[in-house]
Amino acid sequence: MEPSEIKRLIEAGIPGCEAIVSGDGSHFDATVISAAFEGLSMVKEQQLVYATLGDRITSGAIHALSIKAYTPQEWETQRKLKVSF
């Protein structure tokens, strides 16, 4: 799978989100920003993202996926912290 395909699947499955995906064909990193994460635990956020990928994880098309999930407010804070270094 290509990172662009995973990005498309995540963004289609969580309307209004932004996904930033990188990877090498089977191991991927995804940063997902969505208001849908508001009030959810980290586990629930990850479950929401995994649900957008259907059977691609269980089939082995995606071997590993690291997820960082942020609300828009958390993402803005994260970006400001990175800029300040």
Domain boundaries, the chain: 3-83
Assigned CATH topology for domain 3-83: GMP Synthetase; Chain A, domain 3 (3.30.300)
pTM recorded for the entire structure: 0.90
pLDDT per residue as tens digits for the range 14-71: 999 999 999 988 799 999 999 999 999 999 999 999 999 988 888 888 989 999 999 9
Contact 46, 37 (CB under 8 A): no
Residues 13 and 59: their CA atoms lie apart, in Å, by: 19
